[in-house]
Structure 1
């Protein structure tokens, strides 16, 4: 591993607020884009998709790169722009037919926002236009890249809370996890064959994002089938147990420079962090049940608002306490990290719920971007294509030496290719499960 490359791909992190502030504008961007599309674009799919890419995807790219230093200003301007649009376009929208099989729109928007920001960051981090402080932290700290995998687990858990009632069999869970295992294995083999630079300290030598997802999926099924326990208790117990093991020396062992000469030592980050991600998955599942998000009607509810505000306050307080005592570590997926991810996830879902209500007020309907529908339908393929394209870009270009404009052009083309491919699969109803 090139030491300079590893140093560039890691950082000492940034503040919790700055990490939070570059994520929040995405909700207002979606609202503004949806109102504009409602008002000025008809039902032509090509026109809609083009507008969505220009009004949503490109701003996402700019906010986490060249505009990152102005995140607070962007939030303020977005709020002003949103209020202005509400006043100007009230009842003047062109109603675009909404897919009837969805009634938890803010959840779809939340999941896809997470997916978009994560996929953009996967390649953006390889360019100097991406602020280095947003790269993955070495051991402890806050950064944008750190929250990606955690938010993906959160989004998956929030929509799978019914598993604890219907008890998906262990065999079925393993079978459905096979594609993830194959993808993870293929990624390892390909990167080894082409000598693609992979940082071992992120997940391990053989481990990666796909293997972590497969592990969480299988373990969650085992727990739900063998133990009759509520998800919130399961998540709390797992995080408590995980944190205690880390404090008893396991955390120091994982973060050490010990030689990777056995399978466990070689993949200690991925193996150990899986327990934390499993706890996060259970707590996310409990959140899904608590807010009954699969039956959300998009109607105003003081009860739901109160639940959101109470949980957000509790998670923020818990994050501050855990960060002070144990730190926040993505490599370990410790309690501080998992609760921090939960805070971001719940806050974004709450904000998008309010935005859904406002859009209903302005336009009488909620516009779900076509690209979001496509990615929500085929999220795993979206991530797979992103990984393949990221590898191709890094093989073809010396990304770390590129100037700002070429970097932004490549990132834009990368997202065009990924979105177009995912949309084509959506139209043809081809899905990787």
Structure 2
């Protein structure tokens, strides 16, 4: 019996988990686009729901209501005056019901209906926009930069919510295999995770650099003329480069994503050229929508005629897909000005104040679940309950941290 066979026989669960995540081919780009439509619309629906006073009053109404007797705490420009922990947790719970639970369901039991649900949610969003137009709501009083920065914050929160839900859900059979990471070519929801994380952080980077088109095109040229064969081969030498070839060479692709994100953030949202006028907000919305459509079309052309999307190589098609998918999410969130009650939800503010802490806690809880539960043998109902409890603990923990002014940062 050779070493590999002996190791597999001694640890059958490990072998089953390896097989569970192997030889995956991903999902269609249409499904990725549908999921990228659903989640930001859920956030916008929550923004609209904030103004309807269904739970008594929105967060800002609570703050105004208790301003006379409350102490002040500042977090990223948000002044929190409320001392009512009960109301605050109630708002977190409503956010959890409207944003987190539906997102989790679309990643699991409702995955096969994602395209249909995306269409229905788009129609609902259009109705809300039309309703605001008919009611003739007054324009928002906040400055253009504040509104655009709020959109960026919402976008980063959407990326974090998706990441935190997927890192545990992928271990259960209830999570569709087409959403898990692909082996070579193809794309999936989790394939876009690292690229989305890089872009979300680059948009708020304070260091502006010029985007180098030579870096993207040059790396893709190497891939087409032999580097892709080397990166995707299973043969590895004993040197450090060969052992880590995908990670090392994919830096060129991720660096391109970062540079483009920095340029977009600097030119549209945070730079000297951006202004606080209503015209600048409209200009930014139009540009983001145009770029999202442009990168989707570019991705389809590259995937069909140049080289298929590959996360492992972070090739040009993968770079444009990351940009297309994330700019689509951002573009939808930037429609908040057209929806009545475009307030930031409590859960968004809590997560945005502690993105790093949320990510660390999500990984810790994921590890605890995997140590305690045989995820591959868990029934669908049990898996869904575990995921709901996990997501609820994460939401409440971040809410309590934000309420008490706790922030985890290393810089």
- Superposed, 1:192-341 pairs within 5 Å as 230-233=209-212, 236-259=213-236, 261-292=238-269, 299=278, 301-324=281-304, 325-341=306-322
Q: Tell me whether 1:12 sits opposite 2:57 in the alignment.
A: no
Other-structure match for 2:353: 377
Q: What CA distance in whole angstroms lies between the structure 1 residues aligned with 2:301 and 2:276?
A: 35
Question: Residues 379 and 99 (structure 1 numbering): CA distance in 2 closer, same or farther, change over 3 Å?
Answer: farther
Does the CA-based 8 Å contact 1:98-1:368 persist in structure 2?
Answer: no
**Following TM superposition, by how much is the alpha carbon of 1:264 offset from its aligned partner in structure 2, in angstroms?**
2.3
Aligned with 1:350 (options 331, 341, 350): 331
RMSD, aligned CA? 2.7
Question: Residues 51 and 92 (structure 1 numbering): CA distance in 2 closer, same or farther, change over 3 Å?
Answer: farther
Other-structure match for 1:28: 41
Other-structure match for 1:416: 392
Question: Residues 57 and 296 (structure 1 numbering): CA distance in 2 closer, same or farther, change over 3 Å?
Answer: farther
The alignment of Structure 1 onto Structure 2 pairs a total of residues equal to 357
TM-score, normalised relative to structure 2: 0.80
- SS of residue in 1 equivalent to 2:36: coil
**Following TM superposition, by how much is the alpha carbon of 1:296 offset from its aligned partner in structure 2, in angstroms?**
6.9
Question: Residues 83 and 247 (structure 1 numbering): CA distance in 2 closer, same or farther, change over 3 Å?
Answer: closer
Q: Which runs of 5+ in 1 are unaligned?
A: 165-229
Q: What CA distance in whole angstroms lies between the structure 1 residues aligned with 2:380 and 2:326?
A: 30
Deviations 1:207-256 (A, max 9, x none): xxxxxxxxxxxxxxxxxxxxxxx4222xx222222222323333222211
- Superposed, 1:392-403 pairs within 5 Å as 392-403=368-379
Other-structure match for 1:143: 188
Does the CA-based 8 Å contact 1:127-1:407 persist in structure 2?
Answer: yes
Does the CA-based 8 Å contact 1:276-1:338 persist in structure 2?
Answer: yes
Deviations 1:84-125 (A, max 9, x none): 5557788799xxx99999532211111111111111011111
Higher-Rg member (1/2): 2
Question: Residues 36 and 310 (structure 1 numbering): CA distance in 2 closer, same or farther, change over 3 Å?
Answer: closer
**Following TM superposition, by how much is the alpha carbon of 1:149 offset from its aligned partner in structure 2, in angstroms?**
1.0
**Following TM superposition, by how much is the alpha carbon of 1:322 offset from its aligned partner in structure 2, in angstroms?**
1.8
TM-score, normalised relative to structure 1: 0.76
- SS of residue in 1 equivalent to 2:407: coil
Deviations 1:124-145 (A, max 9, x none): 1111111111110001101111
Q: What CA distance in whole angstroms lies between the structure 2 residues aligned with 1:314 and 1:111?
A: 22
**Following TM superposition, by how much is the alpha carbon of 1:66 offset from its aligned partner in structure 2, in angstroms?**
0.7
Question: Residues 382 and 98 (structure 1 numbering): CA distance in 2 closer, same or farther, change over 3 Å?
Answer: farther
**Following TM superposition, by how much is the alpha carbon of 1:331 offset from its aligned partner in structure 2, in angstroms?**
0.9
- SS of residue in 1 equivalent to 2:51: helix
